[in-house]
Structure 1
Amino acid sequence: MTFIILVLAVWASFAFVWIVKPKDKKNIKLLLAFSGAFLLALTFFELLPEVYENQEPKTIAIFILAGILLQIFLEFFSKGAEHGHVHLDMKKNKFPLLLFVSLSIHALIEGVPIHGDSSILYGILIHKVPVAVILSIFLINSELKKSSVILFIAAFSLMTPIGNYLAQSTWMEAYASIFTALAIGVFLHVSTIILFESSQGHSFNLRKLLVIILGIGIAYFA
């Protein structure tokens, strides 16, 4: 069921863009701000207490920091697609392999901390939808062949479920805390970047502030 939900979230976002062709990105940015706040709060409420339980604090901290550095490295190739920004030049009809690889690694890591029908699953879904919408807008408006766009979305939609499947395999059980710490680092970087970017120019925006507070509040009671 988790597998199906994660795949459908990406395809539903893509279908929405394909059919509706949204022009106004303000509401998408609000959803992105909500997702950043929700994911950040869940990381503090759920993942951090879990990963530090009965583990060496400094070891866990090293892998959290490694996750942050990994995400920074991935963004050299994805140009910020993980937090809703795609700044690639797609004038040539060429499959964006580096974008695909970096997003795939990010999506694989996202699947690691998901355990069944948990609040983390909903956090990942809420984060994935606005990112998939913005990515779909970029791909559809690019000069890529439609077949390449479909291939990109199809493969991308499978990455988080595959990451979740691998995390639950027997050979990875001994390293569960390490990979979860790595995922925490990725989430911390992505969610904080989303929140920082939600206040461009450091101008006060009441709607975004309320959306962020709402995201934290819902995560607390999730």
Structure 2
Amino acid sequence: MNYLLLFLSVAFGYVIALFLKKRELRNMEVFLAFSGAFLLSITVFELLPHVFETPSKRIGVFIMIGILLQIFLEFFSKGAEHGHVHLHTESKKFPWLLFISLCIHAFMEGFPISEENNLLIGVIVHKVPVAIILSFFFITAGYKRIITLAFLFFFALMTPIGNYISNHYSFVHHYETEITSVVIGIFLHVSTTILFESSKNHKFNLTKMSAVIIGIIIAFLL
């Protein structure tokens, strides 16, 4: 069921994008702010305490590796993980760099998801607005439907595959803390970037601030 929900979150985003207009896309900033706050809160409330059950500076090193990995991936994805898509619409070739970087990000997301935490909800809440924005820009940029669907299909598969490997291959369990720490770093970078970008020009926005607070409260109560 977890695998199906993760896959359908991207499919759901594509369906929504089919009916969106450009002016309606601006409302996604509020949903993005909520998703960033929710993902950050799940990371802080559940993943961080788990990896620091036995405190070690080594864990901090792997968290920093995750942050650096995400920064590196964003050189190629141009920030699509947190709602920014910059494609060269003059060329309709398959955007391989964007695809590979997003797939690595999505693949890593799947590893810490388990019955012991609420990360499944956090990843789904994070994936839906990103899938909507990705799909919308592919559609409006005039990419062939087969390219858009192929991109989204394999992108949707990555997190379930990561989660499957985590659940069914014993060697992963030997490095569970290290892998989770790397993913924490990825989530910290992505979620804080979303929150930073949701307050452009450092102007106070009551709607976005409310969405952030609601996201934190819901994550705490889960």
Q: What's the TM-score, normalizing by structure 2?
A: 0.96
4+ residue stretches of structure 1 with deviation over 3 A? Answer: none
- 1:8 counterpart = 2:16: no
Unaligned segments of structure 2, at least 5 residues = none
- 1:211 counterpart = 2:211: yes
Shift of 1:221: 0.5
* Residue identity in the other structure for 1:178: E
Shift of 1:148: 1.1
Which position in structure 2 is the counterpart of 1:109? 108
Q: Alpha-carbon deviations, 1:199-219, whole Å to 9, x = none?
A: 001111011111101100111
Distance in structure 1 (CA, Å) of the matches to 2:49 and 2:117: 15
Q: Alpha-carbon deviations, 1:12-64, whole Å to 9, x = none?
A: 1101112x13322232110000000011111110000001113x511110000
Shift of 1:143: 3.3
Distance in structure 2 (CA, Å) of the matches to 1:209 and 1:145: 38
Give the match's secondary structure for 2:21: coil
Q: In the alignment, is the contact (CA less than 8 A) between 1:92 and 1:143 conserved in 2?
A: no
Distance in structure 2 (CA, Å) of the matches to 1:175 and 1:33: 32
* Residue identity in the other structure for 1:122: I
Shift of 1:91: 1.3
Shift of 1:118: 3.9
Q: Percent identity of the aligned residues?
A: 52
Which position in structure 2 is the counterpart of 1:97? 96
Q: Within 5 A, what are the aligned runs for 1:56-75? A: 57-75=56-74
* Residue identity in the other structure for 1:46: E
Distance in structure 2 (CA, Å) of the matches to 1:93 and 1:206: 39
Distance in structure 2 (CA, Å) of the matches to 1:99 and 1:73: 12
Shift of 1:117: 7.7
Shift of 1:171: 1.6
Q: Alpha-carbon deviations, 1:160-200, whole Å to 9, x = none?
A: 00111112221211011111000000000000000000000
Unaligned segments of structure 1, at least 5 residues = none
Which position in structure 2 is the counterpart of 1:200? 200
Give the match's secondary structure for 1:156: helix
Q: In the alignment, is the contact (CA less than 8 A) between 2:42 and 2:219 conserved in 1?
A: yes
* Residue identity in the other structure for 1:58: K
* Residue identity in the other structure for 2:50: E
* Residue identity in the other structure for 2:178: I
Distance in structure 1 (CA, Å) of the matches to 2:99 and 2:51: 29
- 1:188 counterpart = 2:174: no
Which position in structure 2 is the counterpart of 1:86? 85
Distance in structure 2 (CA, Å) of the matches to 1:109 and 1:115: 13
Distance in structure 2 (CA, Å) of the matches to 1:22 and 1:159: 28
Shift of 1:88: 2.3
Q: What's the TM-score, normalizing by structure 1?
A: 0.96
Which position in structure 1 is the counterpart of 2:40? 40
* Residue identity in the other structure for 2:188: L
Q: In the alignment, is the contact (CA less than 8 A) between 1:71 and 1:189 conserved in 2?
A: yes
- 1:129 counterpart = 2:128: yes
The more displaced of 139-148 and 183-192 is 139-148
Shift of 1:86: 0.7
* Residue identity in the other structure for 1:124: V
Distance in structure 2 (CA, Å) of the matches to 1:102 and 1:113: 19
Q: In the alignment, is the contact (CA less than 8 A) between 2:46 and 2:117 conserved in 1?
A: no
Distance in structure 1 (CA, Å) of the matches to 2:63 and 2:104: 16
The more displaced of 113-122 and 45-54 is 113-122
